[in-house]
Structure 1
Amino acid sequence: MSTPRWAEPALATVLDRVAVTRAEVGDRFPLFADPDSGRWTTTRRGSWTGGFWAGLLWLRARHTGDEDDRNAATECTARLADWVAADTATRGLILWYGTALADDPGAAALRDRAAHACLDAFDAELGLIPWGSAFGGPRLVARADAVPGMVPLLAPVDRKAAEAHLRTHLELCAGPPPGWSRGRAWLLLATADALHHLDVPDLHDTAAELTDCRLVPPADDGRPEGPLDTSAAAITAVALLKLGRRERAVAILEELVRVHLSGNGALLDGCYDLGEGIATRHELVWGDFFLAFGLAVLTGLAGSYDV
């Protein structure tokens, strides 16, 4: 299948931006960047997004083949180790996406430790790994962002737990409330992963129901004139590539590149938290990751299930 002519230059631009970001943030983790200045807000430990920064570094290392890039990715992944013992279901986001593209044994060992730690947190009575207390608030909560990454992380150690975790969240229509742009996207991504890693053909219909008909959705369906969320679109595109719906995925990625990708490789118009008014039109590190990974699949740098 031919590669769209815009995909390779777009990927190169996004991964060039990774090098610039790395120089700016040093040993901290980028979270979101101002759309005008390009300056990053960072965290010390990575929060729930640290795995996406590590994943971007691994994509750049794969793209350049440079030893310095590989070392930077290795060091970043190693700094995620403290999250193994954290009480949070976002360990799927952190420790799957932070290790899946890595090609060193340390990352593989970290991923295995994380999988077993998450399995230990599985509540058989509830049929899920609870949201957890690591970020404050009630522990026994089911959220859509507790599912992506967790399915492929758990699948090698306990397929039944991985399936139960996903199905319970699908049945509960996991929070935040319906209308949140990334809620649908996260669940679609997790469902696509389940169809690959688990024997669950009945979820094909679920995947179809979760697919958004828009190229780039608003951050909140209840505010259609409000900010968009390009990160949700990028997540959806990757999920569609996994599902074999390449034509639709390409249409989304082309829209992101044509309309929302800046000249310096930043995916703009991502919405971090509309309710709190935080970073509502910004570059988001996970938006960059999913755009880069989608482009990597289109260009042959990665396979759709490499993460």
Structure 2
Amino acid sequence: MHTIHKTNQQQSSHAEIESAIEVMICHMIHIDSLCTDGFPLYSPSTSNQWTISPGGSWVGGFWSAWWWLRAHITKSVSDQCKASELCQRLLPKIDTDSVNRSLVFWYGASLGNIWFQDVPARRLAQQSMIALAAAYDPKTHCIPLGIDMGGGEKGKQLISIDSLAALIQLFRQDKSREYEDILRSHTDTLIAACCDTQGAFHATAHFNHGSFQPIGQAGAWSRGQAWGMLGLSRAAIQWGEPYLTYAQSACEYWKNSRSELLPLNRLDNPNGLYDPSASVIASLAMLSLANLVPNGQQWHRYAHQQITAIIRSQYFTGIRSSNHSKKHKANMDSGIFWGSCYKTHPDKEALVETTWGSFLLMAALCILVHRIEPDQI
């Protein structure tokens, strides 16, 4: 049975947010103890039973990113070294045929360069930009999804919304005209192919007979809509209008189409799973938008409400008990965010704990207490 969260609850306090950050930081040690030889992909519910991937797929960069964020908070040299070591294990992903490399290397490498001036991380980010730029298709005016990381045999003819924010953030690190032109062309193509006039996003579009045809119902998939919002907020930071107007429309569509703070995974499946991780991504977009528009406080407030709903929900395990006899269990079970709707099998989706969901939630929490800026994620 789902817990419904409306907007009339009191926002989380500074102390409550700091407590959530603290238990998540502690929980990372337990995850790390289980996956020394690979990257953690997902763990069902609160089971602490992680599926480990040798390469990490598109998720691997978030494990490195989570450690970069931890090091940024703790100021620990050992945490920074851990993040750097994980970052270097991403090198094989450079040649992967997927635009989702931008997710891997923006979060997994560029944050190390930005926050710590980590030279190997900077090199990886630069290599990834070169590889992604080389994948640009002048015929379709975009960097296609690609055949790897789940793209499949039709991946060369697909454009996808998930990676737009990461691609913009990654390419922003280089000021060359070539990267700027590729990025602007890709962004405009994606908006034209996937975003309707109300700000609702199709997750993908297929290139056929000289133009892109959107797939599915616009705005129905909550995480796809949230990724679109985040991408537009990054485009607004980079170029201003008309992207700022697009970003506001997409955020308004989210707010008007989802009556609950923790939304359904798919609006066209009212009996399906919820996906709180979509609210995290949507909140990150709103926190960025809040700094760009005159009425920005409304977006900051709504984002704060969504994050509050998450950390007070069944999908986040805070500190379970202060009883000394239960200390070990409290440490192991605290700080789990199991609100990511994820395809654990080809025909099955489940709510799981993921490193990308937890990293993005902790980043949103850090923004709310001014540890990082919204445009750094």
Against the structure 1 CA distance between its residues 217 and 277, is the aligned structure 2 distance closer, same or farther, given a 3 Å change threshold? farther
**Aligned-pair CA distance for 1:68:** 1.9
**Aligned-pair CA distance for 1:60:** 1.2
Contact preservation (8 Å) 1:3, 1:299: no
Against the structure 1 CA distance between its residues 275 and 32, is the aligned structure 2 distance closer, same or farther, given a 3 Å change threshold? closer
SS of the aligned residue for 1:172 comes to helix
2:190 is the alignment partner of 1:160: no
Q: Which moves more between the two structures, 164-173 or 247-256?
A: 164-173
Q: Which residue of 1 aligns with 2:40?
A: 30
2:372 is the alignment partner of 1:302: yes
Contact preservation (8 Å) 1:119, 1:154: no
**Aligned-pair CA distance for 1:287:** 1.0
Against the structure 1 CA distance between its residues 222 and 3, is the aligned structure 2 distance closer, same or farther, given a 3 Å change threshold? same
Higher relative strand content: 2
Q: Which moves more between the two structures, 243-252 or 134-143?
A: 134-143
2:306 is the alignment partner of 1:252: yes
Return the alpha-carbon distance in structure 2 between the equivalents of residues 36 and 199 of structure 1: 41
- Aligned-residue RMSD, C-alpha: 1.9
2:164 is the alignment partner of 1:147: yes
- 1:189 pairs with one of 223, 230, 235: 230
**Aligned-pair CA distance for 1:276:** 3.9
Return the alpha-carbon distance in structure 1 between the equivalents of residues 228 and 158 of structure 2: 16
Return the alpha-carbon distance in structure 2 between the equivalents of residues 206 and 106 of structure 1: 36
Q: Which runs of 5+ in 1 are unaligned?
A: none
The residue type paired with residue 38 of structure 1 is: N
- 2:153 pairs with one of 137, 157, 160: 137
**Aligned-pair CA distance for 1:209:** 2.5
Contact preservation (8 Å) 1:118, 1:154: no
The residue type paired with residue 130 of structure 2 is: H
Structure 1 stretches of 4+ with a deviation exceeding 6 A read none
Against the structure 1 CA distance between its residues 87 and 171, is the aligned structure 2 distance closer, same or farther, given a 3 Å change threshold? same
SS of the aligned residue for 1:282 comes to strand
Contact preservation (8 Å) 1:58, 1:70: yes
Q: Which moves more between the two structures, 65-74 or 252-261?
A: 65-74
2:92 is the alignment partner of 1:82: yes
- 2:273 pairs with one of 227, 242, 245: 227
Q: Which residue of 1 aligns with 2:360?
A: 290
Against the structure 1 CA distance between its residues 274 and 205, is the aligned structure 2 distance closer, same or farther, given a 3 Å change threshold? farther
**Aligned-pair CA distance for 1:163:** 1.8
Contact preservation (8 Å) 1:231, 1:284: no
Count of residues paired in the alignment: 305
Contact preservation (8 Å) 2:283, 2:364: yes
Contact preservation (8 Å) 1:242, 1:304: yes
Q: Deviations over 1:239-282 (max 9, x none)?
A: 11111131111111111111121131111232013994545111
The residue type paired with residue 193 of structure 1 is: R
Q: Which residue of 2 aligns with 1:120?
A: 134
Contact preservation (8 Å) 1:269, 1:280: no
Return the alpha-carbon distance in structure 2 between the equivalents of residues 267 and 204 of structure 1: 31
The residue type paired with residue 14 of structure 1 is: M
Q: Which residue of 2 aligns with 1:66?
A: 76
How high is the sequence identity, in percent, across the aligned residues?
A: 28
